[in-house]
Amino acid sequence: MWLGPLANVLARNTPPCSAVIQLFSESLDHALPLRKRMLLRLHFLMCKYCERYRQQLLFIREAVRQHPERLEGQDSSPTPSLSPEARERIKRTLAGKEQ
């Protein structure tokens, strides 16, 4: 089979997993040059662990972007809330400005 030798060649020519996940994270924040994008793609094809890592990071990103309210919501215990002093201060300030 030609796939074995090919995989070896590819493996020698893509960076190790530790560098791949750093590069992948970077690709979420700015456009990488074509060569680096290709390296990433090849590595993900060959390495199921890095491929999982990629999907899981994208899953986390989608989760928090689509449901920010779940991070801000009150279904946690204890629920952070304004202190009574701050609440009073804010009310007073608002009332003062409104007039």
Partner 1 sequence: MEPRQLSDPETWTDQHGDYLYRCALLRVRDSALAEEVVQETFLAALQARDRFAGQSSERSWLVGILKHKVIDHFRKAHREAPRDNPQELGRELDTEGLFDEAGHWKLGRTEPLEWPHNPSTELERKEFWEVLKRCLASLPPRMATAFSLREVDDRSSEEVCDALNITASNLWVILHRTRKHLRQCLEGHHFGRTAA
User: Which SS3 state, helix, strand or coil, does residue 72 take?
Assistant: helix
Q: Does the footprint of partner 1 cover residue 75 (CB under 8 A)?
A: yes
Q: Does the footprint of partner 1 cover residue 66 (CB under 8 A)?
A: yes
Contact stretch for partner 1 (CB under 8 A) within 2-10, 38-46, 69-77: 69-77
Contact stretch for partner 1 (CB under 8 A) within 1-9, 33-41, 59-67: 59-67
Instruction: Print the binding letters for residues 17-56 with partner 1: x by CB under 8 A, - otherwise.
Output: xxx-xx--xx-xxx------------------xx-xx--x
H-assigned helices in the chain? 3-13, 17-27, 34-46, 48-66, 68-72, 84-98
| Closest C-alpha among 23, 15, 16 to residue 57 | 23
Minimum CB separation of residue 2 from partner 1 in Å reads: 24
Minimum CB separation of residue 32 from partner 1 in Å reads: 11
Burial class (CB in 10 A: 0-12, 13-18, 19+), 64: exposed
Contact stretch for partner 1 (CB under 8 A) within 1-9, 37-45, 90-98: 90-98
Sign of the C-alpha dihedral computed for residues 42, 46, 47 and 53 taken in this order? positive
